[in-house]
Structure 1
Amino acid sequence: MNAMLTVFVKEVKENLRDKRTVMSALLYGPLIGPIIFVMLMNTIITRELNKADQPLKIPVIGAQYAPNLIDALKQQGLQPQLAIADPEAAVRNQDADVVLRIPADFGTSWRKGETSQVEMVYDSSQRETGSSVDRLRRMLETYSRHQGAMRLVARGLSPTMMAPVSVDDRDQSTPQSRAGQLFSILPYFFVLTIFMGGMYLAIDLTAGERERQSLEPLFANPVPRWQVLLGKLGAICVFSLTSLLICVVGFGVCGRIIPAEKLGMTLSLGPAFALQVLLMMVPLVILLASLQTLVAAFAKSYREAQTYLSILMMVPALPSVLLSVLPIKVANWMYTVPLLGQQVGIAQLLRGEQVTTMQISTCMASGLVIAILATLVTAWVYRSERLAISV
């Protein structure tokens, strides 16, 4: 055990002197996620709030055919812009979010009491146009309902005849559950931080030393290989865990900066959230450290190990992609699957739902079992004499 501790202290000290490892594990890895997240969320929220507060500037074709309609839309916040010759091209080229086109026979149909047709020209594949299209549609629907009611009153009928069925919406979402949906990518940032925190260390302690031919003298010492491995894994885990801790604290600070309440949401990333995240993530620290060391052991050079681990980095993204594409109902068995259990648990915490002690324990236990198996496989690979040879 003294040998394991010696290897651990040696690797930690040496890598603390390595600027690349320190910057990756303690600066870029843990902080790039919160910084990008704050910038992105603040930009989106500010843009959407500005759009909601400002007049809706929409090019209108044929405004002269429906002056009453245009006046009513102006009262709701529409600011008509000059007509354009080719609205379809303008929308495709993103020169306009949406274009309102009023046909020449609008007035004729109106006077006859018939349905008067208008056109909204837009491109639904452009995400930034959604709010403008929805605002214009609500304006037109409000005007349509009001004028329809006026027509019934003019004929001595009750406006309620237009609505034989009344729908009373009862949204069961909470401010925090809505925030959880918006910030559902957060668990992936935590997993990525663990990966980045230990990646360069894992490469250097295996493929790097193999390339520098310093593994062979180390293995020549009368020390069991598994103690050498555990010393190296301990150093990787310390850097990964420190990186995760910095990231969790960073997101906790970000939760106070992001103006989620302006969108009717509540983002709670306080100490209780941080503690539960750390408990669920600890097994992943050990698991990813073992997997990174195992993969790096098959590389003969530092650069080759970087290539292998870059491919391995895509694995943690799979649960996030799966949950974002498929409407999966949360079940207890998910907590037994590493990566998936952490994704589900943190997503529930973000939504303000309770994650039970049993679910956290299951997540930790299953993760530790898989981590131990990965460590045993890595220890078996470390027994090979070819590991110390760089050619």
Structure 2
Amino acid sequence: MSTAPASKARRSGTAFTVFLKEVRENLRDRRTLLSAFLTGPLLGPLLFVMLVNVQVNRELDKADRPLPVPVIGAQYAPNLVDALKEGGIVPGAPVADPGLAVRRQDADVVLRIAAGYGKAWRKGEPVQVEMFYDSSRQDTRSAVDRVQQLVETYARQQGAMRLVARGLSPGTAWPVQVARRDQATPQSRAVLMFAMLPYFFVITLFMGGMYLAIDLTAGERERQSLEPLFANPVARWKILVGKLAAICAFSLASLAITLLAFAVVGRFIPAEKLGMELDLGWHFAGIVLLLMLPLVMLLAALQTLVAAFAKSYREAQTYISLLMMVPLIPSALLAFLPIKAQAWMYAVPLLGQNLGIMQQLRGDGVSGEQLLLCLAGTLAAALVAAGVTAQLYRSEKLAISG
């Protein structure tokens, strides 16, 4: 009489048993541990913060240091050259070919003053100063803006003096003035620098469970250990649930380590030097973790589904590497095609997480409706993916290698 209840209890706990087995075995796998708990979660945030620090400090250093700029025809406009010197520009020796000097990166920017500058100036005619630069070079943008601003400031001052000399008000030349009212907050400006942070979190989830998903399906299929597992009198879906739970556990642990790392190293990002405010603390981490919960299940199901089609571990790596490109799409769309978020967008997996994290970075927060849509939409997609994977697990061909 006691045998049947005991057998029923063992079967009901099959999923948990599979979960514990897979977690224990993969905790001994060095490759899985490095991927889930070290390479992405810790190394990624450290490199991210180092790169941001180097970029910020380099830009600030450029802004403070004297800027050498080759000037062709400096003798024709001594007053302009003096104004540039006051602004921290160090006029350099003229170059024979200014365009070539910029393309070869011998100079960030080159100024050329025409020989007729003095004559046109004395007549009160417009004069031209040519500025050579390469807009494809990201590192020279601050230098170009600095030189352009100094030249334009000098031009406005001289234009105002000309009007005063003729008995006219300087305002005559500018009948309409634009009063700029920037509504960006210090925290919302941080989005400009950290727009790819949501993609970073998604990839951390992806990498955290990737090797486990491959090993638990394609790996076991290659080692021919799936067939004896499926031979047990246990429903296939329970085995799948145990494997998915193990993958989700590793992915969540990877994400938690990443969020903890960002909460710590985020304090060393000099955002205040750029007039920004960045909050990657515990509240931010909690919202990200909540937004990502259904995505953990979705990615685990998709990785398992893709790995189930592969006949070997290496083949599964290739397929899942291609799948890794999918999370990049929402981040790329929001970075290059800024759109106004609509309510339905939060129900789209990956896109909803991107929008929610970006709002949290801006300091706007995520509303209850947006959070519910994000969780419900991604959870529905995760259940569909898990259902398709469960159907695939019912196939006898899955257990056969080769």
- TM-score, normalization by structure 1: 0.98
* 1:276 paired to 2:287: yes
* Aligned residue among 293, 307, 325 for 1:296: 307
Q: Matched residues, percent identical?
A: 66
2:7 matched to which residue of 1? none
Instruction: Judge which range, 218-227 or 15-24, deviates more.
Output: 218-227
Deviation string, structure 1 residues 38-73 (Cα, Å, up to 9, x no partner)? 022111101110111111211111111111110111
Q: Are residue 10 (structure 1) and residue 21 (structure 2) matched?
A: yes
Stretch of structure 1 that moved more, 245-254 or 330-339:
245-254
Which structure 1 residue ranges, 4+ long, deviate > 2 Å from structure 2? none
User: How far is the alpha carbon of 1:327 from its aligned partner?
Assistant: 2.4
| Aligned position for 1:95 | 106
Pick from 65, 82, 87 the counterpart of residue 71 of structure 1: 82
Aligned residue in 1 for 2:256: 245
* 2:259 aligned with 1:259: no
Provide the residue aligned with 1:106 in structure 2.
117
SS of the residue aligned with 1:175? coil
Match among 127, 151, 169 for residue 140 of structure 1: 151
Residues 242-278 of structure 1, C-alpha deviations (whole Å, 9 max, x = no match):
0011111111223211000000000011111111111
Moved more, 307-316 or 78-87: 78-87
Unaligned segments of structure 1, at least 5 residues:
none
1:215 aligns with 2:199: no
Structure 1 residue 32: Cα displacement: 3.1
The answer to whether the aligner puts 1:189 opposite 2:228 as a matched pair is no
Q: Is the 8 A contact 1:152 1:159 kept in 2?
A: yes
- Is 1:35 matched with 2:42? no
Task: Letter of the 1:165 partner, please give it.
Answer: V
SS at 1:121's partner residue? strand
Matched, 1:83 2:97: no
Count, aligned residues: 391
State the AA in 2 paired with 1:243: S
* Structure 2 segments unaligned to the other structure (5+ residues): 1-11
Residue 63 of structure 2 corresponds to 52
* TM-fit CA distance, 1:154: 1.6
Q: Which one-letter code corresponds to 1:236 in the other structure? A: I
Return the match for 2:343 from 322, 332, 341: 332
Q: Is the 1:181–1:351 contact (alpha carbons within 8 Å) kept by the matching residues of 2? A: no
Return the alpha-carbon distance in structure 1 between the equivalents of residues 382 and 66 of structure 2: 56
Q: Which residue of 1 aligns with 2:35?
A: 24
Match of 2:181 in 1: 170
Distance, in Å, in 2 between the alignment partners of 1:112 and 1:254 is 60
Please tell me the residue identity of whatever aligns with 1:123: D
Quote the offset at 1:76 in angstroms: 1.3
For residue 238 of structure 2, what is the aligned residue in structure 1? 227
Letter in 1 for 2:229: L
How far did residue 31 of structure 1 move? 2.0
Q: What is the deviation of 1:330?
A: 0.9
Q: Do the aligned residues in 2 keep the contact of 1:63 with 1:102 (CA within 8 Å)?
A: yes
Cα offset, 1:33, TM superposition: 2.5
Query: Residue 291 of structure 1 aligns to which amino acid in structure 2?
Result: L
Rounded Cα–Cα distance in structure 2 between residues aligned with 1:335 and 1:127:
33
CA RMSD across the alignment? 1.0
Residues in 1 aligned to 2:286 and 2:398: alpha-carbon distance in whole angstroms:
39
